Amino acid sequence: MNPTNPTIDLLERYLQAIGQSLPAATREDVLNELRANLTAQIDDRAEELGRPLTEPELAAILKAHGRPEIVATRYLPQRSLIGPTIFPFYLLTMRRVLPFVVAIYFIANFVKIAATQHGLSSVAGGLVDSAFGIIPVLFVWLGVMTILFAILERTYDKFGKEWCLDEWNPAKLPPVKPQGDKKQRSLANRIADLAFHCLWMAYIIEVPRHPYLLFGPGASFIARLQIGWAPVWHTFYVALWFLLLIQLGIKIANLFPAIGRFSTPLDLVSKWFGIVVAGWLASAGTYIVATGPGADLHKLAVVNHWMGISFKLVVAFMILDLGMEAWKYVRPRLPTARLAF
Amino acid sequence: MDITSNPSSESQIFDSLRLELRRGCLIVAVLAQLRVEHYGYTLRKALADQGLAIEESTLYPLLRRLETQGLLTSQWREEDKRNKRFYKLSSEGELILTQLLAEWNSINDSVNNILQNSVLQTPSQR
């Protein structure tokens, strides 16, 4: 076909554009039918006007008929990567698995940092790298999960009946959760919490003067080894006191219901400060030093190394705990998506 | 959110619900209209003349889908020196249409009953 009439040319260009998005098997048939229908419409309009259509008039008819790519899409079978039957299971799995992926990633990274990095700057650098490193990990995980569920979607028609997605037992549903964010603790409980915290502070005051409070009968044995605390502990002791004072303030504030609603954010802040203190301690490297010529320096170095790793692991768990607590606090406050029809 | 304070949101919700409501009705109308043979354009005109306007880009693919489901038959034939694809309700389509009409009438009756009852109940509730 070699159209010379500009209106026919426009129609053919429109049909060609539709054809580009149609499968080869049905393309000609669909285009012939569309051509017949559109030509009949053009003829009708021309008959109404008593003259052939101008190019803008034809363009208006084609525009009303729809954008070529969208028209072509309507001739294709409805497609979705994950359909409405599988999608709720996809969403549920993603929500359940996400915390484990994040936890495993950070634990693995912190163990790696603890074993390989030394010094405050290298530990801090490793932590920052880990924080940014999770982004590509999450993208890969999201991609893999989506591909797996897309495969399930494709195979659902064939094997879906065997998966028994519709089979469920109401009796196996979890029990109803208590209403509200968190049940308010009783006043007696909060007073007891404050009292134990005061006792804990008194214990911390006495430990430097009475080492047996920390080591028990082993304190005299340690004294004979000619080893002592490194200077880092003196600074740590001051920081620990500062942290305990913050916690004391929070526990006193918890006694008053008006302030009590800020207890979780204040707890989170104190946990964050605890992480800073523990992180600083973990990066120190030397915890026990020789106090006399009889100390075994090689063993001392090994003990210091493993104490450093232990502190780094503690920091990792503290960060994980803070993350989980922060998520628990933030999650109910996130805007929920509106239900769609 | 109070939708009554937001006309565009109200209009969006109405359009969405109207689309849902029309979707099933259009199929019934198309099947019923195709008891008499039509090709795409004349079918669209016939439906529009009876107050049921439907976009070409919705109707033409719908005809093909209904044919694939076996509810319509089609054949290419020359009319006014042009080849056109004519559609007609198949025997299976007639059966399905009868069932759909029964369902449609039943829904219609139920909705009418609900509306009548709600009109009767409204004054006493005030």
pLDDT in tens, A198-220: 888 877 777 777 777 676 666 67
What's the number of domains chain A is made of? 3
Chain B CB contacts of A37 under 8 Å are: 39-41, 44, 56, 60, 84
Chain A CB contacts of B82 under 8 Å are: 36, 39-40
Residues in chain A: 341
A139, A172, A205 - which closes a domain = A172
Distance CA A153, CA A161 (A): 13
Say whether pTM exceeds 0.80.
no
Kindly identify which residue of chain A lies nearest to residue B82, measuring between CA atoms. Answer: A36
pLDDT value of residue B84:
92
Question: A52 is in which domain, residue-wise?
Answer: 6-74
Residue A96 lies in a domain: yes
Residue A177 lies in a domain: no
Chain B CB contacts of A341 under 8 Å are: 16-17, 20
Residues A329 and A202 in one domain: yes
Residue A182 lies in a domain: no
Give pLDDT < 70 ranges for chain A.
1-6, 117-121, 123-124, 160-161, 163, 165, 177-185, 213, 215-219, 222-223, 257-261, 334-341
CB contact under 8 A, A36 and B56: no
Residue A257 lies in a domain: yes
pLDDT in tens, B16-58: 888 888 888 899 999 999 999 999 999 999 999 999 988 888 8
DSSP state for residue B12 in the 8-state scheme: H
Tell me which residue of A73, A63, A78, A75 sits closest to A30, measured CA to CA. A75
Residues A237 and A300 in one domain: yes
Distance CA A227, CA A231 (A): 13
Number of A/B CB contacts below 8 angstroms equals 50
CB contact under 8 A, A34 and B20: no
CB contact under 8 A, A36 and B83: yes
Q: Which residue has the tokens 């694809």?
A: B85
Residue A127 lies in a domain: yes
How would DSSP label each residue in A150-182? HHHHHHHHHHHHHHTTT---GGGSPPPPPSSSS
Chain B CB contacts of A39 under 8 Å are: 82
Residues A220 and A320 in one domain: yes
pLDDT in tens, B75-121: 999 888 888 999 999 999 999 999 999 999 999 999 999 998 887 77
Residues A51 and A12 in one domain: yes
CB contact under 8 A, B61 and A74: yes
Identify the contact set of chain A against chain B, taking CB-CB distances under 8 A. 30, 32-34, 36-41, 44, 64-66, 70-71, 74-75, 341
pLDDT value of residue B101:
95
Closest Cβ opposite residue A39 in set B64, B76, B82 = B82
Kindly identify which residue of chain B lies nearest to residue A44, measuring between CA atoms. Answer: B41
Kindly identify which residue of chain A lies nearest to residue B66, measuring between CA atoms. Answer: A75
Chain A CB contacts of B19 under 8 Å are: none
A309-333 CB burial, b ≥16 within 10 A, e <16: eebbbbbbebbbebeeeeeeeeeee
Chain B CB contacts of A38 under 8 Å are: 41
Residue A30 lies in a domain: yes
Residues A158 and A204 in one domain: no
Chain B CB contacts of A66 under 8 Å are: 55-57
Angstrom CA distances, A59 to A42, A50, A252, A259, A330, stand at 11, 18, 76, 68, 54
Residues A143 and A12 in one domain: no
Q: What is the topology classification, in CATH, of domain B3-125?
A: Arc Repressor Mutant, subunit A (1.10.10)
Residues A263 and A317 in one domain: yes
Handedness of CA A287, A292, A294, A297 (dihedral sign): positive
Residue A207 lies in a domain: yes
CA of A43 vs chain B CAs: smallest distance (Å): 11
Residue A24 lies in a domain: yes
A74, A97, A131 - which closes a domain = A74
pLDDT value of residue A193:
82
Residues A151 and A37 in one domain: no
A311, A281 in Cβ contact below 8 A?
yes
A23, A44, A74 - which closes a domain = A74
Residues A105 and A69 in one domain: no
pLDDT interval class at B124 (50, 70, 90):
low
Residues A194 and A325 in one domain: yes
- Give the per-residue SS3 of B82-121: EEEEEEEECHHHHHHHHHHHHHHHHHHHHHHHHHHHHHHH
pLDDT value of residue A3:
46
Side chain identity at A193, as an amino acid letter? D
